[in-house]
Amino acid sequence: MNRIFTSLLILFAFFSVGSAQSYIKTDLGIKTSINKIAYEIQFFSPSIARVVKWPEESCFNKESLSVTRKPQHTNLNVSINGENLILKSDELIVHLNTKSGTVSFETTSGQPLLKEKQAGAEFTAFNDAGNATYNISQSFALEKHEAIYGLGILQNGKMIQRDLEVHMIQNNTQDFIPFFQSNKGYGLFWDNYSPTIFSDNQEQTTFSSEVGDGIDYYFMYGENADGVVAQMRELTGQVPMFPLWTYGYWQSRERYKSQDETVGVVKKYRELGVPLDGIIQDWRYWGNNYLWNAMEFLNEEFYDPQKMVNNVHNLNAHMIISIWNSFGPETKPYRELDSIDALMDFKTWPESGSFKWPPNPDYPSGVRVYDAYNPEARDIYWKYLNKGIFSLGIDGFWIDSSEPDHFDPKPSDFDNQTYLGSFRKVRNAYPLMTVGGVYKHQREVTSDKRVFILTRSVFAGQQRYGANTWSGDVVASWDALRKQISGGLNLTLCGVPHYNSDIGGFFLWDYQNPLQNADYRELYARWVQFGTFCPMMRSHGADAPREIYQFGKKGEPVYDAIEKYINLRYSLLPYIYSTSWDVTANQSSMMRPLVMDFPSDKKALNIDDQYMFGKSILVCPVTKSMYNKDGQADFSTIKKRKLYLPSGTKWIDFWTGETVEGGQTIAKETPIDIMPLYVKAGSVIPIGPDVQYAEEKPWNNLEIRVYKGADGEFTLYEDENDNYNYEKGLYSTIKFIWDDSENTLIISDRKGRFPGMLTDREFKIVMISGKNNLDSEHIIPVKYSGRRTSMNL
């Protein structure tokens, strides 16, 4: 009887008007079939629609690795107009042509957004390691002058990702996310994890993937770039807070070879009085390559790892350590993973058991990558990581080779069977799975220490796992420096806000004696300046050490420039930490491509070497050599860097206080210690105290800079700096509101509270307009006890 009743319901759910195609209305949208292709359109929210297609003779059943949002019931109006089946929510209209099968999207006011190409969906039978499936492809028609952004971290130096072809297979220096967003205010996520080709030309824009039981993509409408980022995070996960100390300065090298050397670097920074919050221990602390990634300190040079960690902590610094996704054959994790058939078989790093270069094939290392798709394997991975590393008090993890390394790939390599099918089927999601495994396990162990993971690769949704992605082992050059800017900005536009690069570049192949090379020393100083305005400021690389004292001493131009920007980073910590809260609470972004804040300024849309850091500071890195003359540093003549000031606002020179109108290109003097920085008129920026590490002093005497010329506001965020109590509401915010026409600053009532919170403090207000060198005579002290304060300035 129940079956008969269900069948009747299905029959009554069919609709047919005139010659239009029949369809089934579901709780989320519709199902239908056109030209032997099954279609399902689901609304996950009023602004997000999922489109799924598959050949009728097969079936499609998939649980997304990236998408965490469960579809919510959305009020939909479903109608038929001629050949078009129309689904309309409060935010979005989706058209399905019941004759051609093409899907198109438009706003509720009828503005076209995106349309599939006619006959743009392709399914080609494919044998995936014994599993009958398809190569799949879907093409779209973009407007001729439409700008699109995203696709992950590409080393192509492009801001707008048009007129190109990208082969998406995760690798060392490029991270691929099959997502783009348009300056028309929409985004598209191609939910597929197999090797994929993204291509864009005058005819069409296409995603083509090697493996897929069906075509599966999400269309989201956010009105603008921030809105699209918000929708992508609604779909794939929100961003947790990082600890305050992660935003300080980090020193690393390939590699510190003993615990005495590691601790000695921290001591040296403390002796020099140069701020430092963290040291990173790179590989081989485990010993030889047969013990690769043993997750134990088996190298005799690390004779007392607990003492090493304690010594670093006693110097008021933190420590993160390199871990990998592969294991040597003599390690305990290898043996246990092998016992459950959770090790894959393809060529990875290191290739030889010997440290010598090139690798000796007569002595293969036997190192194998683990199956991060297997939940039991992730449990084993964490068991050894927790016991051998985390239990020592290590503060975070550097998951290297998280793509993972795959050398000389053969088609048969992709036939490796993982817990979720062939390696080919899930290849590009590997970093998401391995990073997610560490995050979830640490959250289960403790809420007192926030997860912090530095990782070399990324996939859609990874922002939910406390990870900061760096751009891989790039070869140092001026061109490479510039490409890191657009790479990080396009990652931001995929919804992933935490990015950094190896300051100075990883490999120094183009430089002999780099520490004595004037061109490299200048490049390193400029990279430090760029790194100051990234979510993580981290110096690292091979071929030469990178500590500040390797670049001279106090009083010398390059040393002084490096020190200046490390100190600048620390002075901006209240601004940076509050911005990080804006990312977590309001789905904002830290590195902001100009399209985010100036979408109507056409000159700003394709600028690849400038960006906003937070919503107030325009950053203009210097990406060309200026002071290298015949191999010698020559600072006798000050050079200039041309830059564009976006229209619609006034800009205040961060260094001089001079006000400049937007909408023009200017030339700014750039001596070795000046990177052009401009503050948007109306900004309120908190400046922190001089410190040697992030938590050395309380923020009880912050300088509050008010940049006149427009109305503005800023919310100062504070919490306990390193636990998850903020998720329980234990934090405070103080909003500063500047009324430019009334010359009035309002400090609002403090909202919220947390243990150890400052209840009484003083703010030092500094007004900046016109020419202003921030002399002490411009400082106005204000006592604040949490109650609203208004002052006419």
Rounded CA separation 95/28 (Å): 15
Q: Long-range CB contacts (< 8 A, 24+ apart) of 123-130?
A: 123/37, 123/54, 123/55, 123/215, 126/210, 126/211, 128/210, 128/211, 128/421, 128/422, 128/424, 128/425, 129/414, 129/415, 129/417, 129/422, 129/424
Residue at token pair 């890195």: 621
Rounded CA separation 372/429 (Å): 10
Please report the DSSP string for 501-555 in residue order. Answer: --BT-SB-TT-SSGGG-HHHHHHHHHHHHHHHTSSSEEE--SSS---GGGG--TT
Closest CA to 93 of 145, 38, 41, 166: 41
Question: Active-site residue numbers?
Answer: 400, 403, 473
Q: What is the DSSP letter of 625?
A: -
> Which of helix, strand or coil describes residue 672?
coil
In contact, 539 and 454? CB cutoff 8 Å:
no
Strand partners, 164: 200
Rounded CA separation 480/482 (Å): 5
In contact, 442 and 723? CB cutoff 8 Å:
no
Rounded CA separation 215/560 (Å): 55
Residue at token pair 């008129």: 681
Positive or negative: CA dihedral 65, 66, 71, 76: negative
> Which of helix, strand or coil describes residue 617?
strand
Closest CA to 466 of 371, 399, 544, 368: 399
Which token pair is 255? 């590699």
In contact, 675 and 700? CB cutoff 8 Å:
no
> Which of helix, strand or coil describes residue 152?
strand
Helical axes 573-586 vs 557-571, angle rounded to 10°: 50
In contact, 337 and 383? CB cutoff 8 Å:
no
Rounded CA separation 170/750 (Å): 46
Phi then psi for residue 329, to 5 deg, are -70, -15
In contact, 219 and 114? CB cutoff 8 Å:
yes
Rounded CA separation 587/565 (Å): 28
Rounded CA separation 384/328 (Å): 14
Angle CA(565)–CA(498)–CA(222) in degrees, nearest 5? 125
> Which of helix, strand or coil describes residue 396?
strand
In contact, 160 and 606? CB cutoff 8 Å:
yes
